[in-house]
């Protein structure tokens, strides 16, 4: 084998390992699902469970505004958690400016929370 072909051996090995891992982590769960029977649909599996609306209807139907208010509420708290942890870890480096900027951020999130509260997103029927 020529010396140039040996230079491509790590790349071919990388591709082979990638294909093997994709077969293991993608193909194996699909195969296990087919063998165990979890892919057989029934009424309970096809029922709506997130939004409360039928899963397969017209794509242009109107949703209840509470569904969007709950999603805004999730985004508010998700952003808060995503930014509070790194801020708390680095607070001793940022000092007073970092503390004030986080208070402004939390104030903006509080305004969003008050908006959700006034619109009745927290009062579910």
Q: Which residues of 65-88 are buried (b: 16+ CB within 10 A; e: fewer)?
A: eeeebbeebeebeeebeeeeeebe
Other beta carbons within 10 angstroms of residue 121's beta carbon come to 19
Indicate the pTM of the whole model.
0.45
Distances (CA, A) of 53 to 28, 61, 63, 102, 103: 33, 10, 8, 38, 39
The tens place of each residue's pLDDT in the chain, 125 residues long, gives 667 778 888 899 999 999 999 989 998 888 888 888 766 777 776 666 665 666 566 667 676 777 777 787 788 788 788 888 888 888 888 889 988 998 998 898 888 888 878 877 777 66
């Amino acid at each position: 084998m020529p010396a140039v072909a040996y230079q491509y051996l790590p790349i071919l090995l990388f591709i082979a390992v990638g294909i093997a891992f994709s077969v293991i982590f993608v193909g194996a769960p699909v195969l296990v699902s087919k063998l165990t029977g979890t892919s057989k649909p029934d009424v309970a599996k096809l029922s709506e469970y997130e939004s409360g609306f039928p899963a397969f209807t017209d794509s242009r139907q109107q949703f209840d505004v509470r569904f969007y208010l709950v999603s805004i509420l999730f985004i508010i708290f998700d952003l808060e958690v995503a930014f509070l942890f790194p801020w708390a870890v680095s607070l001793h480096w940022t000092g007073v400016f970092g503390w004030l900027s986080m208070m402004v951020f939390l104030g903006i999130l509080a305004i969003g929370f008050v908006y959700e509260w006034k619109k009745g997103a927290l009062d579910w029927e």
